């Protein structure tokens, strides 16, 4: 992953927000993985450094596509990132919508 390209897609004051968004999406994906273990299982999901890195790189790749290629805003990306990451992990193709108008998930206005 070219971190220079990633850095060019966000302003300095957005970096912390994006990192927190990546962390939230990744931790939610691990929580889903843990919940999918059989109820009778006594084992816990082991989170390895390699798996954290793999999921972080997935997030960075998706962010680059959504921000760089599709010109999505940071908030829109971070709102959809958990769902897109889950699709990617499950081997399900994900396709970003091409609407020009966006409202955050859960917005009932």
Residue 29's contacts (CB-CB under 8 Å, 6 or more residues apart) are 55, 82, 85, 86, 89
Residue 7's pLDDT is: 79
Q: Which positions of the chain have pLDDT values less than 70?
A: 1-3, 38-45, 99-109
Can you state the angle between helices 74-90 and 49-63, rounded to 10 degrees?
130
Return the pLDDT at 33. Answer: 86
Question: In this structure, are residues 98 and 35 in contact, taking their beta carbons and an 8 Å threshold?
Answer: no
Which residue shows structure tokens 């709102």?
A: 79
| Nearest-angstrom CA–CA distance, 81 and 34 | 19
pTM: 0.80
- The C-alpha atoms of residue 58 and residue 67 are separated, in whole angstroms, by 14
3-state secondary structure of 40: coil
Domain boundaries of the chain, sorted by first residue = 3-90
């Amino acid at each position: 992953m070219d971190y220079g390209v990633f850095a060019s897609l966000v302003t300095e004051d957005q970096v912390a927000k994006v990192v927190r968004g990546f962390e939230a999406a990744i931790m939610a994906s691990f929580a889903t993985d843990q919940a999918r273990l059989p109820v009778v299982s006594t084992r816990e999901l082991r989170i390895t450094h390699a798996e954290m890195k793999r999921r972080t790189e997935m997030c960075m790749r998706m962010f680059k596509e959504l921000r760089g290629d599709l010109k999505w805003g940071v908030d829109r990306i971070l709102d959809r990132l958990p769902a897109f990451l889950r699709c990617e992990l499950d081997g399900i193709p994900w396709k970003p919508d091409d609407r020009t108008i966006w409202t955050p998930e859960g917005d009932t206005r």
